Amino acid sequence: MSEVFKGVFTQQEPIPEDGIAAALDVMRSGRLHRYNLVGDEVGEVGELEREFAAVTGARFALAVASGGYALACALRAVGVKPGERVLTNAFTLAPVPGAIASVNAVPVFVGVTENLTIDLDDLDAKAGEARVLMLSHMRGHLADMDRLMDICTAHGIIVIEDCAHTMGAAWKGRPSGRGGLIGCYSTQTYKHLNSGEGGLLVTDDEEVMARAAILSGSYMLYGRHGTVPDEEVFERVKYDTPNVSGRMDNLRAAILRPQLARLDAQCQKWNDRYRVVEDGIGGTPGLTVIERPEEESYVGSSIQFLLLDWSDDAIEDVLSRCAARGVELKWFGGAEPKGFTSRYDSWRYAPSRAMPETDRILKSIVDMRLPLTFSLEDCALIARIIRAEVGAVWQGQGAVRRPA
């Protein structure tokens, strides 16, 4: 009889007990707003900012309402204007071009490689079209950050990193988010820290931080942030920086701080699960495992594989057969957006040009979450199911392959 997986792909671990206790303390105090403080106390949000800055090695950190807010705040902080073109990945999730559209700027999509990273040759070719790159480390895959920064430096491009899927990851030991001018992170439920919604922004630039703090809704209370530049920096920018409120509150910060202290251990657990699945599906006929470069320290909270040049019907068959056995796979190649999956040509508010090789890769991407509620044995079972069903479709129906 065929094995069936009975786990739930959307079930996260509970909030740690010390996080629950800290949250209860905040609720008992009634002081949920980040600036509702007594005397010179820093508060939970300010403490989180200090701790996150220390973890990432940044001078400044700002806690905000969501990862998407952090991205839009970063764009505003570097002065992106309506109608301005902003480079970004063709393979990403909708909040990234959405952040660009939210400031009335125009996304310019850059292609994707078979390693699911931004195509650096295409980036180099399009570098003259914009002064800002919003780089999405989509699904936790880091591009060659040395070459990327060389390209951007040569063309005078500001780099804003979307690290929603790479908190805890690094390129050659440098934390994700620390290559460009600004790093943006998410603490939405399915990310590496869980506060339901939430985000963080880091930078070493004093003026960027001052603008971001005011943008986030500090009024003139920016001195109460956990990490702040000197008062004179705020004096330079406070009269021409709007309040676009998106603060984090003390309740979410209280939940996050104990999780941040455990981040390294959690990342190791994700990677243990990732490697079990990766090993289990490796060598499956017709299935391409994503190669991870040695320079990348990744966090395997999800896993992707490619069904390159398979027909739509064959891919749909794999997904339905796996679903029947309890394995929930998502496909980024579908013609219509579904759940969180969509393609750059789905975002009709953003003009796009044909990118045939990128389209070929996007059409092939299959994605799966790896929550820490799964055991290693669960992951081995999931891998067996994927291997069996991909193999069955490959052998029984064959993939309808397009000519090269």
Tokens 């969180």 found at:
340
- Measured CA to CA, the distance from residue 256 to residue 345 in angstroms comes to 35
Give the least confident one: 54-63, 286-295, 395-404.
Answer: 395-404
Answer yes or no: is pLDDT of 1 > 80: no
Calculate the average pLDDT of the chain.
Answer: 95
Sheet with 199-203, edge to edge strand ranges: 60-64, 199-203, 182-186, 158-162, 132-136, 85-89, 106-110
Q: What share of the chain is helix, strand, coil (3-state, %, to 5)?
A: 40, 15, 45
Answer yes or no: is pLDDT of 403 > 50: no
- pLDDT for the residue 352: 85
Answer yes or no: is pLDDT of 397 > 80: no
- Measured CA to CA, the distance from residue 57 to residue 75 in angstroms comes to 22
Smallest Cα–Cα separation from 179: which of 192, 197, 160, 156?
160
pLDDT (average), residues 192-218: 98
- Shared-domain flag, residues 387 and 336: yes
**pTM of the predicted model as reported, rounded to 2 decimal places:** 0.96
- Measured CA to CA, the distance from residue 233 to residue 178 in angstroms comes to 22
- Measured CA to CA, the distance from residue 59 to residue 225 in angstroms comes to 13
Smallest Cα–Cα separation from 187: which of 128, 253, 231?
253
pLDDT in tens, 329-388: 999 888 778 888 888 888 888 888 889 999 999 999 999 999 999 999 999 999 999 999
- pLDDT for the residue 399: 45
- Shared-domain flag, residues 302 and 285: yes
Task: Provide the CATH number for the domain around residue 286.
Answer: 3.90.1150.10
More confident residue, 341 or 84: 84
Task: Provide the CATH number for the domain around residue 179.
Answer: 3.40.640.10
Domain limits for position 365: 263-396
Answer yes or no: is pLDDT of 233 > 60: yes
- Shared-domain flag, residues 200 and 293: no
- pLDDT for the residue 32: 97
Identify whether the C-beta of residue 34 lies closer than 8 Å to the C-beta of residue 46: yes
More confident residue, 396 or 169: 169
Identify whether the C-beta of residue 136 lies closer than 8 Å to the C-beta of residue 89: yes
- Shared-domain flag, residues 283 and 252: no
- pLDDT for the residue 339: 82
- Shared-domain flag, residues 271 and 130: no
- Shared-domain flag, residues 256 and 270: no
- Shared-domain flag, residues 195 and 280: no
The pLDDT confidence band at residue 87, using thresholds 50, 70 and 90, is very high
What is the Cβ-side half-sphere exposure of residue 55, based on CA atoms within 13 angstroms? 25
Q: For the chain, give the longest Cα–Cα distance.
A: 71
Whole-angstrom CA distances from 128 to 12, 86, 100, 190, 320 are 43, 11, 18, 35, 44
- Shared-domain flag, residues 216 and 236: yes
- Shared-domain flag, residues 254 and 282: no
Is residue 334 classed as helix, strand or coil in its secondary structure?
A: coil
Answer yes or no: is pLDDT of 68 > 80: yes
- Measured CA to CA, the distance from residue 307 to residue 9 in angstroms comes to 21
- pLDDT for the residue 404: 42
- Measured CA to CA, the distance from residue 68 to residue 70 in angstroms comes to 5
- Shared-domain flag, residues 99 and 147: yes
- Measured CA to CA, the distance from residue 368 to residue 31 in angstroms comes to 39
The pLDDT confidence band at residue 398, using thresholds 50, 70 and 90, is low
Total structural domains in the chain?
2
Domain assignment present for residue 75? The answer is yes
